Amino acid sequence: MKKLYKQIVAFILVAMLMPIGFLSASSNLPPTPPEETQPVLNPNIRLVNPTVVEILPGQTQVFELTIRNQGFGEARNFMAQAIIPANAPFSASFINNSHLSTGITSESSRRLQLEIRVDANALTGSFPIEIRYTYSNFANENFTQTDTVMVRVGTDTREPSLTLRNFTTTRENVMPGDSFTLSSVIENNVTVEARDVRLTISGLEANGIHLSNSTQSVFHQSMQFGAQHPVSFDFTVASNAPRGTYAIVFTLRYRDTRGEEFERDFYYYVAVGATATPTERGALSIENLSSPAGTFGVLEEFSVSFDIRNSGNNAANNIRISTIMEDGNAIVPRSANVRTINTLSANNAENVTFSFSPTNSARTRSYTIGFLVEYDTGNVLADGTRERASFTQYIGVNVSNPEREDEDPTDPSRISIPRIIVSDYTVTPQIVSAGQEFDLDLTFLNTHVNKHIENIQATIVMEDRATVPGTNEDRGNIFSPVNGSNTFHIQRIDPREEAHQSLRLFVIPDAAARTYTLTIKFEYQDEFFNNHTAEAFIGITVRQTMRIETSEISIPSSTQTFGMVPISFQLFNTGRVTLGNVRVNIDAPGFDTTSFESMMFFGRMQPSEHNFYDGTIMAIEPGPQPVRIVISFENDLAEVHEVVHEFIIDVQDFSFDGMFDGGDFGDMGRPWPDFESESSGFFSSLRNIVFIIAGAGVTAAAIVVISLVVVKKKKAKAVVFDE
């Protein structure tokens, strides 16, 4: 309590003496500068994401672009435009009026719906779309801002694969003159769209099986992954049709998104004129037939499995299942080609599996594999012999052998050009700084399924510095190779294989902060030494270095408790980027930083702009006290950066010892008059005047202190109440 009393009295005396010092020093102060005009708060529209989008040829897709007003003023009469390069194989436009807005307030976002339509025959590559914004502030000043979105047009090298599944018929035993309906399902079981799908029927004969009340083909414009389309056809068997097995051929023709055509054949066999079923006999059939889906290459193994079911009322014996190959040299069994079952009881089934693989002599086409089932029915004929029955089931399998496809390279129908694309690229760091070096890792892909490319020369065309006509800048490249060339050579890339190339590039120091386009030009040869060219585009985002500096900071090295500590300095934006949310904050635990103006907010600082900081803090704790001057600011990406200056101030505890003992005036450094030894009227009057002034000053200071304490207590109570 005693210490608190001494501190209050010291504060009163300091308050009494401060006006005298202030009056004596006020005459030397420079004139107060005129108050500056309040600056206009300007908006700043920037693209947040995405900066890169991917789309396939023939596709139409809507992308949502998120923009944000990173300025301090409202953007009024906002409009966005999408500007595409002349060589872009797509069109782009905003939909649902998302590119228009009456106002975008500070720190708020909007979503623009950009629809991109890519040509069906578009080549692979990356193309920039310039997003141009126009808007105004509240003072009707107009602004224009641009961002870049890179559009990667990719090529889906996978092939669609349609199949015909689940054949069912309304009549199992077909006799001459009968009619029946055959149903199936067209299914796309690969994650690639199939287009212009057409199913046709062939192999019909007028004196055998022919269509009745049905068309000979079915058409679907498109089938996405997992799509299923049921089909059914009505057939009639001629009354004079010879007994035997008839093959119905179903042909599926379709295209991929690049326009390449595919064709697959499926077979269904109908046995006409089978003998009547005796009352006591075994009757076998094939159920749950699993046909191989997809396309199989040379030596690639696949399996076919099915169930042999006895639906008769007697056991079937000596069952033999053998394979029938359309071309014995094209597809060969990888398992035993004959399976036997001794006995199969009535209403029972047994699973059978065969494995196959194509050989080098196979061509790219669909092959037929048959399964012949022979067995003893258990029925005894009139001549005493056992009845033996048989039937055959066929499936189709697709085979791909590129080596046999191009046996005649002069055949125009077989010529296809291998393509090289930039399938991936990595920039390290992801956003490069002007005046710095960065690494660029490129991945090149040969998209052809069976042709290699060789003697590949790639040249990186750097963007010029002077991109705006009529500028006074010297022309030159934004990027330049480090210890190397912008042209490199790749000897060979095999089909569907990749090659990698790493480069180190330098960005000129005065490059503007935006996304730049690098063009990669290819010159290469195919396996027949035909020359080809291609281009690819990649985007590099550059940002300018941020830098803020200060003048010499004016701050005392020592003070006393309750002493005022003035701090002043100048700030300079020495970088090439506009800084946002610039502020100065004093972090000093041993000082009062709230009662006086210590935190100062400057907002935006343009390049080469400067500001002046002048703040005050008061010492409250004795001893060496740390003081941190924190200068914080943001870049265009809203990333916060800080510059910190640290100091130590020696704070001495304020003392009253010897202040009224005659001699020296405490620590004030000047003598105190000895009023008791002077009895003259002058000193007596002077003493009275001093005491009167001191008393009045003490009274006024006490009232101020008491008022501050009361207000502070009220504020503290209010804070507690709010919490």
Q: How many CB atoms lie within 10 A of CB 102?
A: 9
- Residue 29 pLDDT > 80: no
Taking residues 491-511, report their average pLDDT: 86
Torsions phi, psi of 553, nearest 5?
-85, 125
Helix (H), strand (E), coil (C) string for 13-48: HHHHHHHHHHHHHHCCCCCCCCCCCCCCCCCCEEEE
pLDDT confidence tier of residue 12, bands split at 50, 70 and 90: low
DSSP secondary structure code for residue 663 in this structure: S
Percent of the chain with pLDDT strictly greater than 90 = 15
Q: For residues 658 and 599, is the Cβ–Cβ distance under 8 A?
A: no
- pLDDT of 382: 55
At 261 the three-state DSSP class reads: strand
Residue 719 has pLDDT above 60, yes or no: no
Is the pLDDT assigned to residue 412 strictly greater than 70? Answer: no
Query: Which carries the bigger pLDDT value, residue 525 or residue 672?
Result: 525
Q: How far is CA 231 from the centre of its chain?
A: 41
pLDDT band at residue 80 using 50, 70 and 90 as cut-offs: very high
Q: How far apart are CA 253 and CA 162, in angstroms?
A: 9
More confident residue, 6 or 233: 233
Question: Whole-angstrom Cα distance, residue 99 to residue 80?
Answer: 5
* 415/235: higher pLDDT: 235
Q: For 104-124, what is the mean pLDDT?
A: 86
Note whether 527 and 452 are within 8 A (CB): yes
266, 415, 447 from 251: Cα distances, Å = 6, 24, 28
pLDDT digits 0-9 by tens, 434-489:
888 889 888 898 877 678 899 999 988 876 554 444 444 444 578 888 877 788 88
- pLDDT value, residue 58: 80
694-718, pLDDT tens digit by residue?
A: 555 545 555 544 455 444 444 443 3
Supply 110's token pair: 């909007």
Q: Dihedral, CA atoms, 384, 388, 389, 390, nearest 10 degrees?
A: -160
Confidence of residue 626 (pLDDT cuts 50, 70, 90): very high
β-strands 331-333, 349-358 pairing: antiparallel
CB-based contact 416:449 (threshold 8 Å): no
186: Cβ contacts below 8 Å, ≥ 6 apart? 162, 163, 164, 197, 199, 218, 220, 223, 228, 229, 230, 231, 252
354 pLDDT above the threshold of 90:
yes
Give me the amino acid identity at 704. Answer: V
709-718's contacts with Cβ under 8 Å and 24+ in sequence apart are none
Q: Per-residue confidence at 65, pLDDT binned at 50, 70, 90? A: very high
Strand partners, 499: 444
Low-confidence winner among 359-363, 393-397, 592-596 (lowest mean pLDDT): 393-397
Residue 119 in contact with residue 90, Cβ under 8 Å?
A: yes
In eight-state DSSP terms, residue 375 is: E
Query: CA 287, CA 271: separation in Å to the nearest integer?
Result: 16
CA 210 – CA 233 distance, rounded (Å): 10
Alpha helix (H) ranges present in 519-660?
none
Q: How far apart are CA 214 and CA 124, in angstroms?
A: 43
Place of tokens 């109908």: 270
Q: Which residue has the tokens 């089934």?
A: 349
d(CA 75, CA 559): 49
pLDDT of residue 353: 92
User: Which two tokens mark 180?
Assistant: 């029946």
Averaged pLDDT for residues 85-113 = 88
> Rounded distance, CA 662 to CA 677, Å?
11
Q: What is the pLDDT of residues 179-219, one digit of tens each?
A: 888 888 888 876 677 888 999 888 787 778 888 877 778 88
Spatial separation of the C-alpha atoms in residues 384 and 466, rounded to whole Å: 103
- Report, as an integer, the average pLDDT of 314-337: 85
Quick count: other Cβ atoms within 10 Å of Cβ 90? 19
C-alpha distances in Å from residue 86, one per residue of 90, 91, 129, 181: 10, 10, 11, 55
Residue 669 has a pLDDT of 41
Sign of CA dihedral 659, 664, 666, 670: positive
pLDDT at 10: 54
pLDDT band, residue 631 (cuts 50/70/90): very high
Question: Which pLDDT tens digit goes with each residue over 550-571?
Answer: 988 999 999 998 888 999 999 9
Half-sphere exposure of 167 (CA within 13 A, CB side): 23
Q: What is the distance between the alpha carbons of residues 674 and 656, in angstroms, rounded to a whole number?
A: 19
How do residues 31-41 score in pLDDT, each as one tens digit? Answer: 555 555 555 67
Lookup: tokens for 665: 């005036």
Query: In this model, does residue 636 exceed pLDDT 50?
Result: yes
Position 156 scores a pLDDT of 58
**φ, ψ of residue 673 in degrees (nearest 5):** -60, 145
- Structure-block tokens of residue 366: 């669909």
Structure tokens at 452: 């290699």
- Of 497-511, 514-528, 549-563, which one has max mean pLDDT? 549-563
Alpha carbon distance 457, 445 (integer Å): 14
pLDDT interval class at 523 (50, 70, 90): very high
pLDDT in tens, 243-256: 777 778 888 889 88
- Express as a percent the part of the chain with pLDDT over 70: 77
- Helix 681-722 with 2-26: angle, nearest 10 deg: 110
pLDDT mean over 65-92: 90
Cross-strand partners of 195: 222, 255
